[in-house]
């Protein structure tokens, strides 16, 4: 069995396509949480294709596993 590497896919309308600031946080589209990047990418690709005509809408893949279990070599100790 392979290790779960959780990924979140979500998106919504941006205030400006050159920035990552959402117009209305209450209207975010939470697509779901997926057990690996391949499944998350499929979901992201489907949503991105469905909204390709609206430049204000963007979808993202967040590597939840990196937030839940950060690489100790990349984390600065808090003193």
Work out the mean pLDDT of the chain and round it to a whole number: 91
Q: Please answer whether residues 10 and 29 qualify as being in contact, where contact means their C-beta atoms are separated by less than 8 angstroms.
A: yes
Are 40 and 9 in contact by the 8 Å Cβ rule? The answer is yes
pLDDT in tens, 30-48: 999 999 999 999 999 999 9
Domains in the chain with CATH codes: 7-68 (3.30.70.2400)
Tell how far CA 6 is from the center of its chain: 11
Residue 36 neighbours by CB distance under 10 Å: 14
Query: Is the Cβ–Cβ distance between 11 and 59 less than 8 Å?
Result: yes
User: Position of tokens 């609206």?
Assistant: 54
pLDDT value for 75: 62
Q: What is the pTM of this model?
A: 0.83
Higher-confidence position of 54 and 1: 54
What are 45's two structure tokens? 């690709």
């Amino acid at each position: 069995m392979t290790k779960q590497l959780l990924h979140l896919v979500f998106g919504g309308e941006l205030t400006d396509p050159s920035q990552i600031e959402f117009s209305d946080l209450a209207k975010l589209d939470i697509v779901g949480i997926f057990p690996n990047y391949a499944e998350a990418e499929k979901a992201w690709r489907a949503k991105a294709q469905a909204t390709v005509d609206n430049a204000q809408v963007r979808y993202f893949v967040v590597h939840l596993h990196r937030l839940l279990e950060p690489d100790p070599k990349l984390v600065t100790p808090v003193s």
